[in-house]
Every structure is written in C-alpha cells, then in structure tokens.
Structure 1
C-alpha cells in the first residue's frame, strides 16, 4: 500500500503543481496541512482551494482512501473564521465521492501556547471556563497512521487526551511551568478564536479514543 502524506511541503496544493506526480500509484492520502494564516478569509481560501485541488488530483489518480486531520467541536464554533474553514474542508471531503476518514482531535498540548497567545490582552489571558481534554501530538500521529492503514470509515474518528481540565486551568498550568508572568482571568464570554464557548464545546463524544500521554508527563518533559 502506498500512502502519501500531504503536509504543505513538496507540492503546491493551492495551484495543484506537483500533485499528479506525488500521487502517482498512491492508494491513501493523509492531509495534515494547515492554513499559514488564521485570518478568516485567508483560512477559508486555503482550505477550500487546497482541498478541492487535492481531491480532484486524487480522483484522477484513483486514490481509494482520503484521511484528513480536523478539530473536535469545529461544527459548533462557526463564529470562528478558522474553524468555519476547517468545517468547509470536511464538507468538501464528504461530497467528493472518495472513501474517507476524518480524524477529529482535541487540541494538542503543543497548541496551548497558541491558545494563550490568541487570548492575551496586554499581560492578561482571558479564557472561558470550558472543559478540555488536550492531547499529545505523538498520540494523534499514531491514530492518524492506524486510520490510514485501515478501511475508510466514511465518517469521523474522534480522540482526546486522558486528562480533563478547565481551559483556563490548563493554560495556567502551562504558563506557570514556563515561569510566564501573565495572569489568567476566567470569564464566561471570553472568546476562543472569535467564538464563544459553551462548557462542553471542546469535548469529544462518548466513543472517542483516549490517548495515554498525560499532560503532566508532557510538561515535565518540556521542563527537562
């Protein structure tokens, strides 16, 4: 089985340049590419154009399994431009006619820094008291790999970390581990990449696969 991973390098998925060559003989394509900009219009343009170009090339190459990495809760966060764009990507995949599997994950441990940065005003990080179960990127990579080697589910595979936190709590822990002096303030109307969160918006469903790596383990490794 030939598996091709599209990660935004080596080919131009926006123009289609190089896609025919890299997909020759491929049976499975794993798309883990992401928009270089989180600006609303930029993210939508990237996901719509890149995904349409990739799916067209896959159809011509005879690809039999399209695997995409996406985000738990995106469908409930449509006030966020970047998450609207991810949802648009999923709709294109579902409508393509190519057998597919979409892997939904909770936010990576590694992305906590980005969440804090986006929510920072001066020296204050404003976050909603939503519940989150963050996950290590290595655990995500393992699940994506297993999914790619399996039969297309023509639906969504969800996964999350094993620890449950309140969003403000996990960011506070991460900042403290880095001796970051910013203050975390909790507010129910604090925005998450432009969207307002409900308590369970960032949580997967009851059938989600649970990863093993604990957030405290990962923090200790980062400090070491």
Structure 2
C-alpha cells in the first residue's frame, strides 16, 4: 500500500490577522490586501498565526476575511446609493430596458454587485427583469410611486444601528444601563431616516438630476 500523503503545509509568518475578531478586531484593508497578495504570489493561502495551517484551513480563514471586507466596502451607503442610482437610470429610460452592465458602466462598478442590488429591488417589487439576449431591467412602479426609503428598505436587510454584539458587564454602571438607552436613541434616529427618505420620490430626484445637468451646461 502507498501511504497517504499528509496535507501540504506551507508556513509563513503572520502579517495580517486571520484570527477571530474578538482577539484582534476587524481586519484592516492593508492586512486583507497582503493576505490576497500572499495567495496570488503562490503562498497557497497558508499563513502561520502561532500554528501550522493546511491549505484548506487557511482558505476558510481567507474567505471569512473576504466576506468581512466585502461587507465593509458595500455597507449601508453603498448598497442604498447603488439602488437609488439604478432606479433613477431606469426612470430616465421611461419604460425601456437597461442591462445590469449599462447600469454598472454609469456607476463605474462591478456588474455582479449591480445585479445583486437589482435582485433585491426585484424582490421588493420595485423593478422587473426580462430574460434573454434582448432582456434587461425596468421599473415595476411609476417613479412617482417609489421613494428613496423604498429603495433603502429593499436593499438594507438589517437595522442601521445595532447594539452590543454581546451583553455588557453587569458589574459596570455603564454596562448595565447603556443598552436600553442606546436602543431608544437608535430607534429615534432610524425613524427620522425613514421619514426623511420617504419625502423624496425617484421622479422628484430625477427632475433635480436633470435640472442640475442643464445648470452645469449653462455655466
């Protein structure tokens, strides 16, 4: 019998934190980029953080870092801005179809991210899609019937503000009292956001966009 070979292990001194966030906090962008460069450079995704890791173990760690980084890069303002941008473009098309690639060109963004956001807008019945070579995206409602809050609510699946990730210490006067007070403040802030974004429709925003463009050309 041929003895089975043990997993290939390549070790490298840790230059970025791939350990849980509770030990080192969220990964920095520089650390993330260094980790990616290590993989691309042929390090096989293996990093030593006080121990020897197999390719599979480190690949799992790197995926976690990538997901955290993606979450940071595509946070609240990014997803909401992409959604409103796409809705304004579709409103400007006046019932015609736009592809995700065309919307991505205007955003100078990744079509994959745009399709993900459009998918959430479709789930919220704000846009519809047509399959096929001549397909694309269009509004499912009149622009005057879609508010900025509709767009925000469609793409932001969680509250803007979240409480502590774990209960604070009851032994601390701040820790045992701050949670309930923060909840009230955060809820008031979110209600204010909902009220403000609910005032502006996609139709009104598009009018302002076009007026701004005319004004800029007249200067």
- Structure possessing the higher relative contact order (Cα contacts under 8 Å, 6 or more residues apart): 1
The structure with the greater share of residues assigned to strand is: 1
Q: TM-score, normalised by structure 2?
A: 0.24
Q: Mark the structure with the bigger radius of gyration.
A: 2
The structure with the greater share of residues assigned to helix is: 2
